[in-house]
Amino acid sequence: MIDTFTRRSWLFGVLATLVGFASALLGALGITDLTRGAVTRGTGIIIGALVVRWLSSSGTDAWSEFTARVIRDRWRRTVVNQLARPRSEGERGRHDLALAIDHAAAAPALEVVGASARTAALGIVLVWIVAGWLSAGLVVALLAVAIPLYQRAGQRSAVLLGDYNQRRDSLERRQLELLQHSPELRALGAVTYGANEIAAVSDAEHGAAIRAIRVALESSLVTEFLSGVSIGLVAMVVGFALLRGTISLDHALVAVLVTSELFGYVRRFGVEFHRREDAVTSMGVLGAEPSSPLTVEGPLLAARELVTEAAGTVISFDLNPGERVVVTGPSGVGKTTLAHTLLGWRRPASGVVERRDGPVAFISSVSALFDGSLWDNLTLGRDLDARDVRTRLDELGLSGPRFDDLSTSLLADGEGLSAGERVRLALARATLAHPQVLVLDDVAGVLDDANRRRVTDLLGRLNQLGIIELTIDTPLLASPTRRIELRP
């Protein structure tokens, strides 16, 4: 959707620039008529130019607001999917999703600005036609000076922004770490140490923010300075030409007004540099737009010429109801990355993943359990029959004092339970939700032989469930319908 809007926004940008130049030409003619005493005609031309310009600006603004609203609403409807995306440790706490959505929604409007600036190069031809090579050469020279300055400011801004984000992440992590250990610090009388640590990291973060702001202001000043100098020099050249009688007043006015228009678009393009960077960064944060779900008649999940970020193996398969796919490969080959890509949590390096709209379960050795009762962890607020829940626990060998009472409290992350017990609880929770697809990420290794057989038997009875298991060697799935091997 964003790509479609962006392509259409390019047309709006081109039209806006052409209308701007046309308005400058009409304005020059109107002013010339006023100087010659044709007040009514001159005033009418100037008013007409202003009206045309206002209509163009209003139409462009309306288009930008419409596209931003549509994109913003679409992303906000899928914000829950963004919350589900796993992130690396360095990314946690870095991005505010609401702000990222607003930045991404501005992408089409920024394309209007970019297209306008590129089309504004036609103004150089107009200046050359009406005012000669010297005026056009001044405009070209100042634009040539502006480009490396913009690039330098952009590169510095990107570096400083990365430094700022890194320091902010460091501050957040340090605050959480010290807060977690605050009882120990108080007991040791070292609260001042924690406060000093936070102050030092905070000062570094503030310093990085100030440097980034300074660079942003410098890039804005560059555009203002070059714009003023260019218009002033062109006005001086055509002014001397007027005194010599080698140029007419209307041509001189066209040269000055078109130069002003040209640098106005370029100036805005430079000013919006940081918003463009924010939009690109935000698109990376949000990831790919939600893909259209497969129809109810198609496979549950389909991979087409899929290559992940971690492995170069090209993968294509369909997962239909009741089918079992086993993916094998040594540790570190990219099995977990493949699982995350199939679930839409990571972008593929190439290829396409399509999923039917419906619940999908993902189980790994680190699947989370929550601070709450056993019942709450298993039902997640759904209205389930206690007998069904009890039966599922028994099928997975979860019995005894810790599991007989469904109101028993669990600690966060299942602290106090073995890895195998946490995995089986997560599997019980997942299967009670009746998913269409179940992804098992290397869980066989944390189960002993008896519990591995229990899990295998349970999965064998769920004959409409599509299952993908990723494992190093011994899979839980007894009779897979397809095997895929990932190679280093």
Q: Which of 457, 487, 484, 474 lies closest to 394 in space, CA to CA?
A: 457
Whether residue 90 is predicted with pLDDT greater than 50 in this model: the reply is no
- The predicted structure's pLDDT at residue 392: 92
* % helix, strand, coil for the chain, step of 5: 65, 10, 25
Q: Which residue is it, tokens 């001042």?
A: 192
| Domain 301-485 class in CATH | alpha beta
- Give the dihedral of Cα atoms 271, 65, 260, 156; nearest 10 deg: 10
- The predicted structure's pLDDT at residue 85: 52
Contact 468, 480 (CB under 8 A): no
User: What's 247's DSSP letter?
Assistant: S
- Segment 476-488 shows an average pLDDT of 82
Whether residue 421 is predicted with pLDDT greater than 80 in this model: the reply is yes
Rg of the chain on CA atoms, in Å: 32
Please state which of the ranges 260-269, 435-444, 463-472 shows the lowest mean pLDDT: 260-269
CA–CA gap between residue 261 and residue 305 (Å, rounded): 48
Q: Which residue is it, tokens 């607020």?
A: 381
Contact 216, 274 (CB under 8 A): yes
CA–CA gap between residue 45 and residue 59 (Å, rounded): 21
Task: Give domain limits for the chain.
Answer: 2-286, 301-485
Half-sphere exposure of 133 (CA within 13 A, CB side): 0
- The predicted structure's pLDDT at residue 89: 41
Whether residue 292 is predicted with pLDDT greater than 60 in this model: the reply is no
| Range with top average pLDDT, 11-25, 66-80, 90-104 | 11-25
Please state which of the ranges 87-101, 151-165, 251-265, 465-479 shows the lowest mean pLDDT: 87-101
- The predicted structure's pLDDT at residue 128: 92
Q: Please name the amino acid found at residue 74.
A: R
Contact 250, 185 (CB under 8 A): no
**Is the model more confident about 393 or about 84?**
393
Q: Going by DSSP bridges, is the β-strand pair 324-328/372-373 parallel, antiparallel, or unpaired?
A: unpaired
- The predicted structure's pLDDT at residue 414: 63
Whether residue 93 is predicted with pLDDT greater than 60 in this model: the reply is no
Q: Residue 272: how many CB atoms within 10 A of its CB? A: 19
Confidence of residue 88 (pLDDT cuts 50, 70, 90): very low
- The predicted structure's pLDDT at residue 91: 47
- The predicted structure's pLDDT at residue 161: 67
- The predicted structure's pLDDT at residue 468: 92
- The predicted structure's pLDDT at residue 413: 64
**Is the model more confident about 169 or about 81?**
169
Contact 476, 453 (CB under 8 A): no
Q: What is the pTM of this model?
A: 0.53
CATH superfamily entry for domain 2-286: ABC transporter type 1, transmembrane domain (1.20.1560.10)
- The predicted structure's pLDDT at residue 417: 81
CA–CA gap between residue 388 and residue 432 (Å, rounded): 8
Q: Please name the amino acid found at residue 330.
A: P
Phi and psi (nearest 5°) for 110? -70, -30
Confidence of residue 246 (pLDDT cuts 50, 70, 90): confident
Whether residue 92 is predicted with pLDDT greater than 70 in this model: the reply is no
Dump pLDDT digits (tens) for 297-349. Answer: 678 888 999 888 887 788 899 999 999 999 988 888 888 889 888 888 788 88
Please state which of the ranges 94-108, 116-130, 279-293, 419-433 shows the lowest mean pLDDT: 279-293
Dump pLDDT digits (tens) for 210-239. Answer: 776 776 676 667 667 777 787 888 889 888
CA–CA gap between residue 29 and residue 16 (Å, rounded): 20
CA–CA gap between residue 475 and residue 445 (Å, rounded): 9
- Segment 407-414 shows an average pLDDT of 75
